[in-house]
Amino acid sequence: MEIVDATVIVSSPGRNFVTLKITTDEGVTGLGDATLNGRELSVVSYLRDHVVPLLIGLDPHRIEDTWQSLYRGAYWRRGPVTMAAIAAVDVALWDIKAKVAGLPLYQLFGGASRDRVRTYGHANGRDIPELLDSVRARLAEGYRSVRVQTGVPGLETVYGVHAGTAIAPATADGVRVDARALPVVEDWDTGRYMRHLPRVLEAVRAEFGPDLPLLHDAHHRLTPQQAARLGREIERYDLFWLEDCTPAEDQSGLRLVRQHTTTPLAIGEVFNTVFDYQTLIDERLIDYVRSAVTHFGGVSPLRKLFDYAATRQIKSAIHGPEDISPVGMAAAIHLDLAIHNFGIQEYSGYTPLTHEVFRHAFTFDDGHLHPGEAPGIGVELDEELAAAHPYSPAYLPVNRLADGTVHDW
């Protein structure tokens, strides 16, 4: 079997998604997700200009060899653009292999280790009453675990509360490529946040009791000393985890956090390779690894990461926001079902139009996902509908302190 074609499809059914479609001489196709939120077209170019020419003529079954040749052969290793491009190839090839085998992908990973995949959803509110309503809404949708984020008194816009991405408005003729969407500027004040969060968690526990698994994302904003103190202060609220307490690249900083708190820690959504985790895993400084299939080079390296994490009793928690396409999400769910040290899967759902553009076999029911039994990853792209919703320039927000200093977002 030979790869005869590889095309990159960009569509925006509510937000931008980059999809790679690989076709073999036998007419089998595979899909991979290469969406890098706010920097989408860089991956499109990396794939179209530099990767696709290397794929034509290759045996699609040689996944590991293709992965290694794209990783080592580029010389310039790692980084989100490179690893998102490699991820798309990796997942598309696994999709093809599983389709040829006539099996859902999880079967090639050793079969199911559980019946279904538990998820957590996002609850957001500008203030505490709005947050409590949002938690109720998530519970009504079936979620059994909820991430809670609120506005902070004195700050206008903070992470998780207002729309995350600025998308360019459509012009009269519906063409959006010329429009400029510049990043939204959000506010930050670590002191106000640290004083407010315990009150938020107190209110949520008072309303929903001790049994509801609660998560919170600090989104890279604290120093190790601040994170150590916050983690200790909120221990009594029994979080499922505190996520990204410090900037992700600061691995040794987690030693300080870990010495002071038993609040479980989750890190890694912006990591691209196992090397980003080396200190964190070796020294057991975290409890959950958060990498996405889409930003970590695909399911091949993610399976290895999870095995490495398992040696320290660290569990998986694959990143699954709206900016991972249903293709990347499907691949994640197959992995979640198969690995032993599964922890939890983030799942925010998609716009109705996104479900139409990416028809998928995976299901969400009663707060749990299942990948379905369709051969491959179980996603089909409606290319006509995708083409009707073209790329729209978009940026993630930036964060500034009251005096104008840029802070981690």
Catalytic residues, which ones? 159, 219
We find the least distance from the C-beta atom of residue 185 to ligand EZ4, in angstroms, to be 16
CB-nearer residue toward Co ion: 176 or 319:
319
CA dist 247 → 244, 319, 363 (Å): 7, 16, 34
We find the least distance from the C-beta atom of residue 324 to ligand EZ4, in angstroms, to be 7
Per rule CB under 5 A, is residue 186 in the interface with Co ion? no
Stretch that binds Co ion, among 5-13, 209-217, 300-308, 354-362 (CB under 5 A): 209-217
Q: How many CB atoms lie within 10 A of CB 307?
A: 12
- Both tokens of residue 154? 């004195």
Q: How many CB atoms lie within 10 A of CB 300?
A: 20
Phi/psi of residue 60, nearest 5 degrees: -65, -20
We find the least distance from the C-beta atom of residue 346 to ligand EZ4, in angstroms, to be 6
Site string for Co ion, 246-275 (x = CB under 5 A): -----------------------x------
CB-nearer residue toward ligand EZ4: 30 or 397:
397
We find the least distance from the C-beta atom of residue 236 to Co ion, in angstroms, to be 23
Judged by beta carbon distances under 5 to 8 A according to partner kind, the member of Co ion, ligand EZ4, none in contact with residue 287 is: none
DSSP state of 185: E
Tokens 């028809």: give the residue.
359
CB-nearer residue toward Co ion: 108 or 270:
270
Query: Cβ distance 349 to 319 under 8 Å?
Result: no
Judged by beta carbon distances under 5 to 8 A according to partner kind, the member of Co ion, ligand EZ4, none in contact with residue 321 is: ligand EZ4
Stretch that binds Co ion, among 160-168, 191-199, 217-225, 253-261 (CB under 5 A): 217-225
Q: Terminus-to-terminus CA distance in the chain, angstroms?
A: 45
We find the least distance from the C-beta atom of residue 374 to ligand EZ4, in angstroms, to be 26
Judged by beta carbon distances under 5 to 8 A according to partner kind, the member of Co ion, ligand EZ4, none in contact with residue 97 is: none
The footprint of ligand EZ4 (CB under 6 A) covers 37, 217, 219, 269, 321, 323, 346, 396
Q: How far is CA 237 from the centre of its chain?
A: 26
Per rule CB under 5 A, is residue 217 in the interface with Co ion? yes
By DSSP bridging, strand 17-24 and strand 29-33 are antiparallel
Judged by beta carbon distances under 5 to 8 A according to partner kind, the member of ligand EZ4, Co ion, none in contact with residue 370 is: none
By DSSP bridging, strand 17-24 and strand 3-11 are antiparallel
We find the least distance from the C-beta atom of residue 244 to Co ion, in angstroms, to be 5
Judged by beta carbon distances under 5 to 8 A according to partner kind, the member of ligand EZ4, Co ion, none in contact with residue 37 is: ligand EZ4
Burial class (CB in 10 A: 0-12, 13-18, 19+), 357: buried
Q: How far is CA 51 from the centre of its chain?
A: 23
CB-nearer residue toward ligand EZ4: 321 or 375:
321
CB-nearer residue toward Co ion: 71 or 159:
159
By DSSP bridging, strand 214-217 and strand 241-243 are parallel
Rounded Cα–Cα distance for residues 394 and 15 (Å): 8
- Both tokens of residue 284? 């057991």
CB-nearer residue toward ligand EZ4: 33 or 323:
323
Tokens 């109720």: give the residue.
136
Q: Rule CB under 5 A: which residues touch Co ion?
A: 217, 269
